[in-house]
Chain A
Amino acid sequence: KNEVEQSPQNLTAQEGEFITINCSYSVGISALHWLQQHPGGGIVSLFMLSSGKKKHGRLIATINIQEKHSSLHITASHPRDSAVYICAVKSGGGADGLTFGKGTHLIIQP
């Protein structure tokens, strides 16, 4: 089973700061997901990537397959970005091949 580690576990920053959240995994994967969980509990998929880099608005996700590492960046952070960010990796066939990290709790202060 893949081991997924996220860092930091908690992050508090000021509005406008550049944010980086990291995800490392132990076994080769076919895809990596970045998810956002709002305070109410609902989860939204931000990115799914298997190589390179993806950008959506102020969010950027990168992955380095050789180093088994991915980062999620938020530029010009805003209080509405406050949420838990979850990394999940797909490393095997079937739905049971998806392993989730414990999440990074991000707070952006005005």
Chain B
Amino acid sequence: DGGITQSPKYLFRKEGQNVTLSCEQNLNHDAMYWYRQDPGQGLRLIYYSQIVNDFQKGDIAEGYSVSREKKESFPLTVTSAQKNPTAFYLCASSIFENTGELFFGEGSRLTVL
């Protein structure tokens, strides 16, 4: 079955450590996205990528980094520079950036201790 796989589902991190969240899709989608979800707020865009080896910052990119070396993969690194990293992170994809249905992963919940 086609879909998006995020891992890990739960992750605990000490302050000052970088952590990488994995996102893999087998839908052959060009566009991939990372969103952050906090209680009582709408999803906010961190980074997105339209094609391999290209990505753009979203609304809240500070303290995060991404790569897009393969079409199927769009990992997100939460760096120690992110001041408030505890949140729920969702990866999504769509056929094209400007149109099309969004497909989401199951999410990764990061807690900084």
Q: Which residues of A contact B (CB under 8 A)?
A: 4, 30-31, 33, 35, 40-45, 48, 86, 88, 90, 93-103
Chain A residues lying within 8 Å of B45, measured Cβ to Cβ, are 95-96, 98
Chain A residues lying within 8 Å of B64, measured Cβ to Cβ, are none
Across the interface, do A40 and B106 meet the contact criterion of CB distance under 8 Å? Answer: yes
Given contacts A31-B99, A45-B101, contact A95 B33 (CB under 8 A): yes
Chain B residues lying within 8 Å of A41, measured Cβ to Cβ, are 88, 90, 106-107, 109
We find that the number of chain B residues with CB closer than 8 angstroms to chain A is 29
Across the interface, do B59 and A96 meet the contact criterion of CB distance under 8 Å? Answer: yes
Given contacts A45-B104, A101-B42, contact A95 B31 (CB under 8 A): yes
Q: Which residues of B contact A (CB under 8 A)?
A: 31, 33, 35, 40-45, 48, 50, 56, 58-59, 88, 90, 92, 97-107, 109
Among candidates B35, B50, B56, B102, residue contacting A33 with C-beta atoms closer than 8 Å = B102
Q: How far is the CB of B98 from chain A (nearest CB, A)?
A: 6
* Sample (30) of A-B pairs whose CB atoms are under 8 Å apart: A4-B42, A30-B98, A33-B101, A40-B107, A41-B90, A41-B106, A41-B107, A41-B109, A42-B104, A43-B90, A43-B104, A43-B107, A45-B102, A48-B102, A90-B98, A94-B98, A95-B31, A95-B33, A95-B48, A95-B50, A96-B48, A96-B56, A96-B59, A97-B98, A99-B42, A100-B35, A100-B44, A101-B42, A102-B40, A102-B42
